[in-house]
């Protein structure tokens, strides 16, 4: 079932009058605006990687990927029942967390016919108690009834590999640099910096230029740095 979050983002990017839930080349597409196909992807980008790779061969495609900055958990006593509790989830995300998704999308992005919009949002997540065997497979023994869009904070449109730097804070790196430099500059653990660098390398936003001890060294191609 379509969530409110998915529906609201679809309206925001496609408009009320757009053609929605259209079949194109054996795939179901969220919306079409002019000649552009629009996909709103709430779950992992890996789930649509092959679909997008097929579609961009002949179509212009925009993939909208929301990243949840903060989440208000609204718990009902039962399905469609009264609200029993509201609390803020301790988990918070930033634009940089989009690399956790993009690591599975490097075989699709970049491509001349593909744009990826990363959207940082606040949501409400409405839940109710789970039942039976399914209950054990739900975090906190609750099933998700709906997710609702509360606010959009930021968005970044990625059209080429160099645009991936927009997801990082404004930092200065030596040239060449290794993942330890990136980790220190951003204030993250090194394994996270390694994942980010993997995405940058696989998409062409950086290139490997040598080694320093056991660490690979990278540089930013001049065209990407501009």
- Domains of the chain plus CATH, in order, are 4-159 (no CATH), 170-226 (1.10.10.10)
Helix (H, G, I), strand (E, B) or coil at 72: strand
Least confident of 41-45, 68-72, 82-86, 96-100: 82-86
Which pLDDT score is estimated for 19? 85
* C-beta of residue 117 within 8 angstroms of C-beta of residue 101: no
Residue-wise DSSP of 145-161 = EEEEEEEEEEEEEE-SG
User: Which ranges constitute the DSSP H helices of 64-189?
Assistant: 99-102, 179-186
What is the spatial distance between Cα 167 and Cα 212, in angstroms, rounded to a whole number? 27
Tens of pLDDT, residues 124-172: 999 999 765 444 444 557 899 999 999 999 999 999 999 999 999 999 9
Which pLDDT score is estimated for 130? 78
Nearest CA among 46, 38, 43 for reference residue 64: 38
* C-beta of residue 4 within 8 angstroms of C-beta of residue 145: no
pTM for this entry: 0.90
Reading the block at residue 131, the tokens are 């039942």
Which pLDDT score is estimated for 152? 96
């Amino acid at each position: 079932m379509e969530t409110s979050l998915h529906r609201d983002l679809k309206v925001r990017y496609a408009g009320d009058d757009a053609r929605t839930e259209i079949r194109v080349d054996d795939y179901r597409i969220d919306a079409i605006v002019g000649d552009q196909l629009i996909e709103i992807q709430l779950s992992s980008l890996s789930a649509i990687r092959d679909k997008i790779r097929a579609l961009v061969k002949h179509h212009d495609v925009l993939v909208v990927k929301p990243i949840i900055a903060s989440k208000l958990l609204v718990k009902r006593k039962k399905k469609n029942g009264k609200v029993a509790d509201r609390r803020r989830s301790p988990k918070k995300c930033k634009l940089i967390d989009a690399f956790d998704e993009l690591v599975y999308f490097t075989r699709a992005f970049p491509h001349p016919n593909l744009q990826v919009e990363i959207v940082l949002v606040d949501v409400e997540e409405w839940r109710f108690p789970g039942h039976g065997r399914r209950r054990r497979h739900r975090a906190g023994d609750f099933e998700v009834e709906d997710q609702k869009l509360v606010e959009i904070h930021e968005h970044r449109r990625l059209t080429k590999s160099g645009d991936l730097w927009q997801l990082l804070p404004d930092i200065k790196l030596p040239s060449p640099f290794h993942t330890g430099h990136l980790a220190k500059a951003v204030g993250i653990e090194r394994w996270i910096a390694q994942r980010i660098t993997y995405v940058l390398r696989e998409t062409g936003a950086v290139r490997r230029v040598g080694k320093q001890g056991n660490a690979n060294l990278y540089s930013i191609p001049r065209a990407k740095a501009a």
